[in-house]
Amino acid sequence: GSRAWPPTQGNRGYFFAFSNSDKRSLELDLRNKDHRASFTALLKTADVLVENLKPGSLARLGFGPQELHEINPRLVYCGISGFGASSSYPGRPAFDTVVQATSGFMDLTRAEGVPVKAGISAADIVGGEFGLLSILAALELRDKTNRGPMLDISMQDAAVSATASLWNGKSPDKHAVFARCADGYVCIESAESHVDAVLKHLGLPPSAVAHMKRETLIGIALQGGMPAVPVCSVSEVARSAQAIARRLIVEKSDEDGRKWPLLNSPIRLNLTPPEVRRPIGELGEANEEL
């Protein structure tokens, strides 16, 4: 769905390329007999199959857990869905906003008391991370038992686990307050829960802070014994010295010579460093190859 999100180069969006580097695109219709045979051939040599559809979607096409194990007993299957294969909402579809609402996650991100969606697709991302962790563990088990486990990952389960520190209904003693400066916001950690009280403690009238640069207020807060940092915009972070030093964004060319910014791997391994090599191609670009 995000393949054509603007801005684009050709018919591919930057967000889509940014999120899918080093993948190959194979387009199959599993209602087609020949395509089913191609899919079966791929499964025979695969280590992992990830299904990101409503539970039971592949099973209805003849590729349920039992059929998958008959094709390849060593295959690790990981289904990632909104509420899991066994759920009080059987067959219910979900997307990130729904899961943030039903998991309590949205209750923690409020604007003037009103629950709002987090600015990123947090439930999608946390669900994917749990999928990755589970798959790595399953591969270890598979190598010991010679049989691939079946994994059922619920995005809601993953999002609920992220709220665990607040399950007792109590908030941490320290608060983060946000002061608006001339060039953006500053986050200040304090036992006070309101920004005006924090500024009064620092000897600053709120009207003066509105005309300050962030770095000035941060200096005053640090001198007053309060940890403070700028609230950076996404674009500021992407251009920051830290992002450059950590090579968080790299530029690679596709087969047509177009250059794409790609997200580098945040996992740094000294012996086998991950390498981002190329952007994803057109839909179905690897059909002939595979």
Beta bridge partners of 115: 110
According to DSSP, the β-strands at 228-230 and 8-9 are unpaired
DSSP letter string, 41-64: HHHHH-SEEEE-SSTTHHHHTT--
Is 22 a catalytic site residue? no
Q: How far, in Å, CA of 106 to CA of 125, rounded?
A: 15
- Under DSSP, is residue 81 helix (H, G, I), strand (E, B) or coil? strand
* Cα–Cα nearest to 38, from 48, 47, 27: 27
Cβ-count burial 20-57 (b if 16+ within 10 Å, e if not): bbeeeebeeebeeeeebeebbeebeebebbebeebbeb
Q: How far, in Å, CA of 11 to CA of 6, rounded?
A: 9
Q: Which of 34, 124, 196, 256 is the catalytic position?
A: 124
Q: How far, in Å, CA of 213 to CA of 104, rounded?
A: 36
179 vs 113, 195, 198, 203, 240, CA distance in Å? 18, 6, 9, 14, 22
Q: In what order do the strands lie in the sheet with 184-190?
A: 175-181, 184-190, 228-230
In whole angstroms, what separates CA 256 from the centre of its chain? 29
Q: Decide if 155 contacts 127 (C-beta within 8 A).
A: yes
Residues carrying an active site annotation: 124
